[in-house]
Amino acid sequence: ETGVTQTPRHLVMGMTNKKSLKCEQHLGHNAMYWYKQSAKKPLELMFVYNFKEQTENNSVPSRFSPECPNSSHLFLHLHTLQPEDSALYLCASSQDWDSNQPQHFGDGTRLSIL
């Protein structure tokens, strides 16, 4: 496989469930990102990892918990989510966190909270 792969593509969960989103990149990049995309709003940066170390946490609620075991894999653990968390969650990667590099995105996980 090439590029950035996200699984699952769709997820429906109740407010008390625990689930995880997975992202894998095959580009040899060192930085990985989680974004949230809601209707009528710009993409919102959630977390940044560079060489497996978290460098940014944009005041994201603790019900979202990221994990980066290596430079190729990124997870987003979800628990006790709220209806307003329903959105498209996008993973991206870039060569490193040096921000003049383009980021390459996966196709996202469409999350619906019941």
Partner 1 sequence: EDQVTQSPEALRLQEGESSSLNCSYTVSGLRGLFWYRQDPGKGPEFLFTLYSAGEEKEKERLKATLTKKESFLHITAPKPEDSATYLCAVSGGGADGLTFGKGTHLIIQP
> Which residues lie near partner 1 (CB under 8 A)?
4, 6, 33, 35, 40-43, 45, 48, 50, 55-56, 58, 90, 92, 97, 99-108, 110
Looking only at the bridges linking them, the beta strands covering 10-13 and 109-113 are: parallel
Q: Which is nearer to partner 1, 35 or 64 (CB)?
A: 35
Shortest CB 112 distance to partner 1, Å: 14
DSSP code per residue over 45-75: EEEEEETTEEEEE-S--TTEEEEEEETTEEE
Looking at residue 100, the DSSP 8-state letter turns out to be T
Of 6 and 71, which has the nearer Cβ to partner 1? 6
Q: Which residues have CB under 8 Å from 98's CB, separation 6+?
A: none
Give the residue with the Cβ less far from partner 1, 66 or 108.
108
- Report the nearest approach of partner 1 to the CB of residue 34 (Å): 10
Q: Which amino acid is at 71?
A: S
Q: State in angstroms the smallest separation of the CB of 100 from partner 1.
A: 4
DSSP 82: -
